[in-house]
Amino acid sequence: MEKFAEVIEKVRENRIKFVRLQFTDIFGRFKNIAITVEDLEKVFRKQKMFDSSAVAGFSDSREHDILLVPDPDTFVVFPWRPREGAVGRFICDVYNPNGTPYKLCSRSIFKRILNELDDMGYNYKVGSEIEFFLFNLTEKGEPTVNTHDKAGYCDLTPVDLGENVRREMVLTLESMGFEIGASHHENAPGQHEIVLKHGDALESADKIVTFKYVVRTIAQRHGLHASFMPKPLKHVNGSALHLHQSIFNGDTNCFYDPEQKWGLSSMALKFMNGILKHASAISAITNPLVNSYKRLAPSYVAPFYLGWSQNNRNTIIRVPAEDKENKRIELRLPDPACNPYLALTAFLKAGLEGIKSDNDTTLGFAEDINYRDFNGETLVNWHDKIIPRNLDDAIWELSNDEVIMSALGKELSAIYIKSKREEWERFHQEIHQWELKEYLAYI
């Protein structure tokens, strides 16, 4: 309780009146229950019950009471709120009333896999590059797909109209304890990227879900809508969530070996091998929407090939040209719509399976793969070398992958797969504008 005592002191110092208990549902959507500061000690004693449907993502007749247990290390004060009656927050784990972790709590699921790595004497480090679009709003405050500018990669003002918005986002995040690596305008009009530096994996996942909440809040204050939809606009780049990963033993980067080609250790190669083996199933988690697979179609920056490289952006894994403590692998597959706790759970579990295997460390190097070489025929012929083409195929891969399913847990896997199959069927039953344009007048 010592950490909670420290938090209560911070609450008093900052004159906080309201505290938000934040958590994610299984799809990665941030939610919260707000309490007054007078109820904080009651929450610390694990007496704050709420409805399980909030975590499952839908309501049914099997709802039951569950507990929110705040992590004291995640406490922050929201800097955009007034000084008087200030608002703080915790990120919470979800527990059953009997004190066991709730099986649909994705944060607890990730912690379980992290404990498996910790038992081996290692530490998982993660950094992220998060892309998003800024769109104009209608007079009624509804989001449009009209971008707030027409700028391109690394453009400056006055072409980049989002510079001041990004600046406020970065300053707000830094005031909340984030370490920002860089920020800039991305390739597409209205598209931006902010880089979060490497850190402890659980803390990094917490920061990704918090990041999306903060970015949306600041955008709204500027009369804009921040969208993390993977592919909101056709004919331009989609948005990615690039996850940079490495494994440390103390201060030693276990992915680095100066005596080996590319500076990659055998552990790094086995870790990548494990991810590539399970990548098709993982895509159902890292690319969770029907829309996600519009981004992953062959283009000059889109990852779609089940391989790795140093400079080719068409592979799902890239190894930046770094050495020593900076040696890492970049997972280019995820998009920002995913649940980062589940995405990192899947990557780490697959990587650990690779490390524990007796497979050799030879790994296909795909520097020469070019998206221009892919057409309808090659995509069919290379189906086992590219990621699934749609959500339905990805869910099928997940449902047949015992390793990834076991990492997520039977209960969460069943609900997730059921929900995503229903999402695919809803999409499949719609008639889309492209179909009308392509067929109506000619068939």
Domains of the chain: 2-100 (3.10.20.70), 113-437 (3.30.590.10)
pLDDT at 22 over 90: yes
Q: What is the pLDDT of residue 61?
A: 45
Q: What is the pLDDT of residue 13?
A: 82
- What lies within 8 Å, CB to CB, of 418 at 6+ separation is none
State how far the Cα of 125 lies from the Cα of 123, in Å rounded to an integer.
7
pLDDT at 331 over 80: yes
Which bin fits 344, alpha (ψ -120 to 50), beta or left (φ > 0)?
A: alpha
pLDDT at 306 over 50: yes
Helix (H) or strand (E) holding 204: helix 201-221
CA-wise closest residue to 137 among 225, 38, 17: 225
Q: Between residues 422 and 80, which one has the greater pLDDT?
A: 422
Comparing 99-103, 176-180, 197-201, 427-431, which segment has the lowest mean pLDDT? Answer: 99-103
Please state, for a pLDDT cut of 70, what percent of the chain lies above it: 95
Q: What is the pLDDT of residue 381?
A: 72
Task: Average the pLDDT over 284-311 and give the result.
Answer: 91
Strand partners, 89: 20, 76
pLDDT at 49 over 50: yes
Q: What is the pLDDT of residue 189?
A: 92
pLDDT at 181 over 90: yes
Task: Average the pLDDT over 292-303 and give the result.
Answer: 88
Q: What is the pLDDT of residue 59?
A: 56
pLDDT at 136 over 80: yes
Helix/strand/coil (H, E, C) string of 6-20?
HHHHHHHHCCEEEEE
Q: What is the pLDDT of residue 360?
A: 61
Q: What is the pLDDT of residue 241?
A: 98
State how far the Cα of 329 lies from the Cα of 312, in Å rounded to an integer.
13
Please state, for a pLDDT cut of 90, what percent of the chain lies above it: 65
User: Structure tokens of 153?
Assistant: 């990669």
pLDDT tens digits, one per residue of 73-119: 999 999 987 677 789 999 999 999 888 999 999 999 999 999 999 99
pLDDT tens digits, one per residue of 357-396: 876 666 666 767 777 777 767 776 777 789 999 999 999 9
Task: Average the pLDDT over 257-264 and give the result.
Answer: 89
Q: What is the pLDDT of residue 362?
A: 63
Task: Average the pLDDT over 338-346 and give the result.
Answer: 98
pTM: 0.95
Q: What is the pLDDT of residue 58?
A: 60
Long-range Cβ contacts of 134-139 (<8 Å, 24+ apart)? 134/162, 134/165, 134/190, 134/191, 134/192, 134/219, 134/224, 134/225, 134/226, 134/227, 135/190, 135/224, 135/225, 135/227, 135/232, 136/223, 136/224, 136/225, 137/223, 137/224, 137/225
